[in-house]
A = this chain, B = another copy of it.
Amino acid sequence: MARPSKPKLNPEVIAEAALALVDKHGEFTLPQLATSLSVSASSLYNHVQGKDEIVELMRGRAMAVIDLPESQPESWQQTVRLIATAYWSSYSKHPRLIPLLTSHTVRDRTTLRVYDALAEAFSQAGFEATRRLQAITIIDSFVLGSALDAAAPQQVWEPDDSSSPQFTEALDAGLPSAQRAQSTFLLGLDVILEGLRSVPRA
C-alpha cells in the first residue's frame, strides 16, 4: 500500500534519523528509531542488519564531507592538515556522535579511505608501522577532542573568587574571540605537526 506521507525507507534515511536522535539524546535505540520514522522495527531490518551497521552509516555520513587531495600535496604535513581540518569541521557539528563512534570498530569504507590517506602521508614522511599508527591516533584524538571544544558553550569556564590570576587573565584575553575554537585547533594541529618532527620514526 502506498503511504505517500512517509519518506521512502533506505539506509540514508535511517542514518539521518539516527543522527537526529543522537544529536538530541546522545544515543539511539532501534525502537526509538522505528518510532521516529513511523515504521515498525522489523521494516528497519529490511534495510540494515542492526545497530552496528547504523553506527557505521552515521560515521560514513560524517566522513563523506572529507575531500582527499587529488594531486600529491606539497608535503605530508599539508595532507594531514587538509584531512584533519575537514574532519574537525564535520564532527564539531555532531559532538554527541563522537563517543558513540569511538566505542565501535571502524568498518565503513568512506572512513577507512581517510585513514588510508593518513597512513600514506605518514609513510611518505618515513614513519615506520608502529609509529605510523601512533601518529594517526594522535591526530585522531586531537581532532575529536577539539571538535568537542568547538561545540562547547561560548563561556567554557566561569572562574570564581579563588581562581588564580594566571587563569582569569588568560580567560579575559582568550575567550572573547569568535574564532576561539577554530584558531586554537589550527594552532594545536601545527604544534603536533611540529612536535612529530622530533619523534624517532622507526
Contact = CB atoms under 8 A, between A and B. Distances in A.
Interface string A115-146: 11111101100001110111011101111111
Contact of A133 (B119, B133, B174, B199): B174
A89 to B, nearest CB: 15
Contacts of A159: 112
B173 A141 contact: no
A122 B164 CA distance: 12
Nearest to A111: B157
B169 A129 contact: yes
B99 A99 contact: yes
A163 interface: yes
Interface residues of A, number: 80
Interface of A: 25-27, 95-96, 98-100, 102-107, 109, 112-113, 115-120, 122-123, 128-130, 132-134, 136-138, 140-146, 148-149, 151-153, 155-160, 162-164, 166-167, 169-175, 177, 181, 183-185, 187-188, 190-196, 198-199
15 contacts: A25-B26, A95-B102, A102-B148, A105-B157, A109-B162, A112-B163, A113-B162, A115-B157, A120-B164, A128-B173, A130-B177, A138-B191, A141-B145, A141-B148, A142-B142
